[in-house]
Amino acid sequence: MITHSGYVVEPWRVRETGLHRDVLAQSESVFALSNGHIGWRGNLDEGEPYGLPGSYLNGVHELHPLPYAEAGYGYPESGQTVINVTNGKLIRLLVDDEPLDLRYGRLRSHDRVLDLRSGLLHRTCEWTSPAGKTVRVRSTRLVSFTQRAVAAIAYEVEPLDDEVQLVLQSELVANEQLPTSRGDPRVSAALESPLRPEEHSAHDTRLRMVHRTTVSGLRVAAAADHTVHGPASPQTSAESSDNVARLTVITGLEPGEVLRLEKFVSYGWSGVRSLPALRDQVDAALAGARSSGWPGLVDQQRAFLDDFWEHADVEVDGDAEIQQAVRFALFHVLQAAARAEQRAIPAKGLTGSGYDGHAFWDTEIFVLPLLTFTYPRCVADVLRWRQDTLHAARDRAHQLGLRGAAFPWRTIEGAECSGYWPAGTAAFHVNADIAHAVMRYASLTDDVEFERKSGVELLVETARLWHSLGHHDSHGRFHIDGVTGPDEYSALADDNVYTNLMAQENLGAAADAAERHMEQAAALGVDEEETAAWRDAAKEMTVPYNNGLGIHEQSAGFTRHQVWDFAATGPDDYPLMLHFPYFELYRQQVVKQADLILAMYLRGDAFAEDQKARNFAYYDPLTVRDSSLSACVQAVIAAEVGHLRLAYEYLGEAALMDLDDLEKNTRDGLHIASLAGSWIALVAGFGGMRYHGETLRFAPRLPEKLSRLAFSVHVRQRCLRVEITNSGATYTLMEGEPLQIRHCGEPLVLSRGTPQTRPVKPPTALPEPSQPPGLSPERPTMHG
């Protein structure tokens, strides 16, 4: 979309000039507002036209059956799908009885701006009705970071050339009609009118509705209150029914006069609280919003973001698109996580219903690293959500005949709901991904309380799964067979290197944590014999290597397979899983997304430098990037082994995944992990930042098209600023006690306020690998 003529490249804003119905659904995702608890898609205030209506509460879902053509033991029985909850965004406008609908009359101008500094979505529209009356509409929308249950809108109407009679209808609407689903009809049936009415009311300027889902049994409440400002006293009335509550405002205006409506909306949900308790909850949140008032909410939002950007901003000189894109990415990742508070971070955040609103391993491997280094206060809550779902993970492990916990491949509330078992059930690496996030957070924050109360249990139960899933051979080597690694085109593989190395780390970390917190470990039944077994399995972990080729095998025997016929695969044949049977994919050398390459990033300590270069040269040409999770990782390793131009192009693909709608599905919601990946590509790729459980290390290098990169990271209650140019890297400790880091292997001890600069070492030039035909990541030319 950034190449679309209606979109402008600016450093701190995303601007759309004109209304472009060809990208309406995509723009609704791009302009979505959220705080991790509430999500409002960027639909027009008047409700229509729309691509996909969307109002979401994190965790609110409906259940639907997952029937199978043939029964099989261990198949998940129930699916979970995010639902569209009560829409509080709607403010319909009638001008002399003509509804403001931009498909009719004449749209003179339309401008929307997402301000990344203030967290506000602004809209200005000038429209002439079919009867010839022209009005200017201005609206500003926010979802509050500081008042978790609150969203608000300021809506102004001004006639421009004649006296008009205006009617505003501010509504709460449940069970909105959604576009016809292109997917599973069972899901469509579950989502058709998913909310059963329990209570509704309308009094003075206040509206409230309470509903409950049919199968999952979740109660949802929404309430709204209003202030109305105009040159005269407008006439108001309120009414409600099962699925609509409405405040109507009627007034006449002369040119130059303005009618202003401020709408405050509150939400709450629960699976256990009573109707009166939930009613009181949303009323209290609404009272808090009214007490702050619109100016107060705006000021609180700006203050929250000022603090965030002070510690999290990334500055990029030399590429205006990347500068805008990385700030857009940081903002949306923050929106997905800031107030999630022991709920999941879905793969689409709360920007759309894609992936049914499920959370995957994306969270721990792509999103939480960014947050740990920039906004660590919310990371522990996300991991506590995993701990809260341990009962379901233990049940799943038991069902599969394993010990410990088997965390789900995709879920909303903790139970596995992937019906495709080779990619779901067999993708056990999600366990080690969670453990990796636990280790990273605990080490980088020194949050001992979190490690003791949550980390130990998560590490112990994930380690138990690995020990029961794997086995020692006759030579003592430890193997983990029949699993699916990150590359879903190579399912049910033996000794997947990524899985084995991450499990190895998991096993060792669990043993260490059990020894540090013996009381908690003992309560979980851990003894010295068990920790010794974990250490032995980690020590003897098998890591397949092909001596003839001088590279690691992605999994045992992978390089023996036939190489996919890329020359005979046309550009319209991607993504491959939609055009070829998985049977063909599984038995050939073709990689959906970074797998071994991801292992070299997260477990770089397990590879020699020359091995990384050879591995990348072998696997990059096999990787088709049919997943949005791939390009950022390829950027990191391309930069490390010296392919800076290629790394830069992969960065562009990750950063512009949604702004350019590269996978043609941004309409369903943003790719939160790919957005986080743009930060990873810059900071870990060109910043060369690595952390393998000890000292923070940097090996910075810039591509030709970037002249400067600057970013900040949080490390153990310290804030470190890094600024990189072609002449050197400058490290400044902005907050906290002295910190030791390494620059290109050289130890540096930093003291607050005393910058240290070191030269940037250019990489050794190597032949750049080719990509599969037609899949080179070069970016389109920026339009301006």
Catalytic residue list: 488
What is the C-alpha separation between 531 and 539, in angstroms, rounded? 12
Q: What is the largest CA-CA distance in the chain?
A: 90
Counting other chains too, the contacts that 714-722 makes at CB distance below 8 Å and 24 or more residues apart are 714/311, 714/372, 714/373, 714/374, 714/376, 714/444, 714/445, 715/373, 715/444, 715/739, 716/444, 716/445, 716/446, 717/445, 717/446, 719/311, 720/696, 720/750, 722/687, 722/689, 722/698
Q: Which residues, 6 or more positions from 509, have their beta carbon under 8 angstroms from its beta carbon?
A: 435, 438, 439, 459, 463
What is the C-alpha separation between 99 and 46, in angstroms, rounded? 9
Whether 434 contacts 383, CB under 8 Å: yes
For the sheet containing 164-173, what is the strand order? 98-99, 91-95, 164-173, 244-253, 235-240
Instruction: Give SS3 for 459.
Output: helix
Strands (E), 422-557: 471-472, 478-479, 545-546, 551-552
Q: List residues bridging with 158 in a β-sheet.
A: 136
H-helix or E-strand containing 337?
helix 320-337
CB atoms inside a 10 Å sphere around CB 528: 11
What is the C-alpha separation between 29 and 89, in angstroms, rounded? 15
What is the C-alpha separation between 690 and 601, in angstroms, rounded? 8
What is the C-alpha separation between 352 and 744, in angstroms, rounded? 42
What is the C-alpha separation between 370 and 375, in angstroms, rounded? 8
Whether 545 contacts 551, CB under 8 Å: yes
Using alpha carbons, select from 448, 474, 444, 478 the residue that is nearest to residue 463.
478
Instruction: Give the DSSP letter of residue 51.
Output: S
CB atoms inside a 10 Å sphere around CB 765: 9
Instruction: Give SS3 for 209.
Output: strand
What is the C-alpha separation between 207 and 192, in angstroms, rounded? 24
What is the C-alpha separation between 247 and 239, in angstroms, rounded? 7
For 359, phi then psi, to 5°, come to -100, 145
